[in-house]
Every structure is written in C-alpha cells, then in structure tokens.
Structure 1
Amino acid sequence: MPVAVLTLEIRIENAHSLKDRRQVVRSLKEKLQNGFNISVAEMDEAVTWQSATIGVAAISGSRDYLAGLMKQVEDAAVRISNDLGAQVADAWWEYLEN
C-alpha cells in the first residue's frame, strides 16, 4: 500500500523568538491536520527561530489519490504559511511502498 510523504521547509522571517516560531509551526500543523486526513509533525529541532521543517504523511490504496492530496496539502501549506507571516521555501514529496 503506498504512503506519500511531503516535506515542507518553512521560513519564518518575522519570528524574533522561539515563542514566535512555535506559534507559526503549531498553527500550520493544526490547520493542515484539521483540513485533511493526514499526519503532520515537526521534523527538526528548533535550531533557528526563522526556519522549520514539517513532515506530512498519508496512506491510501491509490497513488493517484495521494498525488492529488499532496498537491492540495502543499497549496494549502503555502496559503496558510503566507497568512501566518511565513513562507514555504521548499517542498518535495515521495512515495514509500513495501
């Protein structure tokens, strides 16, 4: 059964503290989880206040469904990030199958 994994590199230029960074990351994660049937997690430690890596995973019997879903999630992440004063600097996804 295919699993799609999306990685989002987020730039948070307006974050001046760890609290600012956490607020953006938490809000982005919650909005993506509530809007889609996906798993979302922060993938890196808070090394800098201005960046974060978010991982998204979904499973389905259909690769076509997963491709469409990952595109929708990426588009939503860009929109939500912009609303939060951040931006998606890079995004990529891949299939994992066993």
Structure 2
Amino acid sequence: MWTGTLELDLLLGDVHSLKEKRSVVRPLVAELRRRFDVSAAEVGHLDLHRRAGVGVALVAADRAHVVEVLDAAERLAAYRPEVELLSARRRLVSTDDD
C-alpha cells in the first residue's frame, strides 16, 4: 500500500478579503476532489487573504498511480490563472518502509 501527500503553497491573485479568498480556494479544492478522487482541504495560511495552503492525499496499491495522481493535481493548481504556485512538497510512503 502506498500513501501520497502533496502540499501546495499558493499566492492568490487579485484577492482583498478572506471572503474573496474562499471564492478562489473552495472551487480549486472541490475540483481536486472531484477530478482525482483524493482528499483535499485548505490547510495553511488560513488567516492570510492572499496566500493559501492546500493539502492533497491519497492511498493506492502501487507507487506509479500515486505519483501520476499527485503530478496531475500539481499541474491543475499550477495552470489555474487566478493562483500562482509558489511551491509543492510531496511525500510518498509505502507500508514496506516500516
């Protein structure tokens, strides 16, 4: 069994309030969940209106699938015009790592 996590650090474009931030981050999180069948949530920079941290996680039987899904999720965030992807950190863990 493989688990993978991806932490995206995002800079939001023309956002001036936490309400506007929600209108950008919520659709991104919803699309990640829907398109890739992953767990996703806003996990960082909760009190800043121009920054967002989004976490993505999944479990799969093989490493290749985890890498493929995390790559696609990162590309989705990177190509959204309303956000700038500042960094992406990922972690892969196998049950054989114990």
Say yes or no: TM over 0.5.
yes
TM score, norm. by length of structure 2: 0.89
Runs of 4+ displaced beyond 4 Å: none
Give the superposition deviation at 1:33. Answer: 0.9
User: Aligned partners of 2:55, 2:13: CA distance in 1, in Å?
Assistant: 20
More strand by share: 2
1:46 corresponds to: 46
Q: Report the counterpart of residue 70 of structure 2 in structure 1.
A: 70
Report deviation, 1:97.
3.4
In structure 2, the gaps of 5 or more residues are none
Alpha-carbon shift at residue 30 of structure 1 (Å): 0.7
1:45 deviation in Å?
Answer: 5.0
Whether contact under 8 Å (2:77, 2:85) holds in the other structure is yes
Q: Deviations over 1:46-88 (max 9, x none)?
A: 2210001000001001001111111111111212x32xx2111
- State the one-letter code of the partner of 2:34: N
2:94 is the counterpart of 1:97: yes
Cα distance in 2 for residues equivalent to 1:91 and 1:52: 12
Provide the TM-score with structure 1 as the length reference.
Answer: 0.89
Unaligned runs of 5+ in 1: none
1:17 corresponding residue in structure 2: 17
Counterparts of 2:31 and 2:85, CA distance in 1: 15
